[in-house]
């Protein structure tokens, strides 16, 4: 479902998605059951570097900033919700 702006990301990640879109990011894909511990992933075309994200996002309990450096998969940064198992991701 590329570019689905009606994506039902969890309420915990919705403010971060809204802020990323406000900053110019666009949804390019959504993926249900994206990986073993992710029920919904929303992929954006761009986002902050890991260092920038650590500075601009005030993360509440249960929301984690992550990065993937495994070259077998897309090299991405993102945010995940431990409670809902939803995630946002964007290319590094």
pLDDT at 74: 86
Find out whether 52 and 67 touch, Cβ atoms under 8 Å: no
Other Cβ atoms closer than 10 A to 59: 12
CB within 8 A of 9, min separation 6: which ones? Answer: 17, 40, 42, 86, 88
pLDDT score of 60: 96
pLDDT of residue 6: 52
pLDDT score of 64: 97
Q: Report the SS3 class of residue 71.
A: coil
Query: From first to last of its 92 residues, what are the pLDDT tens digits of the chain?
Result: 344 445 689 999 999 999 999 999 999 999 998 778 899 999 999 999 999 999 999 999 999 999 999 998 888 999 999 999 999 999 98
Phi and psi at 11, nearest 5°, equal -60, -25
Structure tokens at 14: 């919705």
């Amino acid at each position: 479902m590329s570019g689905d702006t009606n994506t039902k990301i969890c309420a915990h990640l919705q403010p971060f998605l809204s802020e990323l879109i406000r900053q110019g990011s666009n949804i390019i894909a959504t993926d249900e059951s994206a990986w073993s511990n992710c029920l919904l992933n929303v992929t954006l075309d761009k986002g902050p570097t890991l260092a920038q994200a650590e500075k601009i996002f005030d993360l509440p309990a249960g929301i984690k900033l992550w990065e993937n450096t495994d070259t077998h998969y897309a090299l991405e940064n993102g945010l995940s919700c431990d409670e809902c198992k939803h995630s946002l991701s964007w290319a590094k």
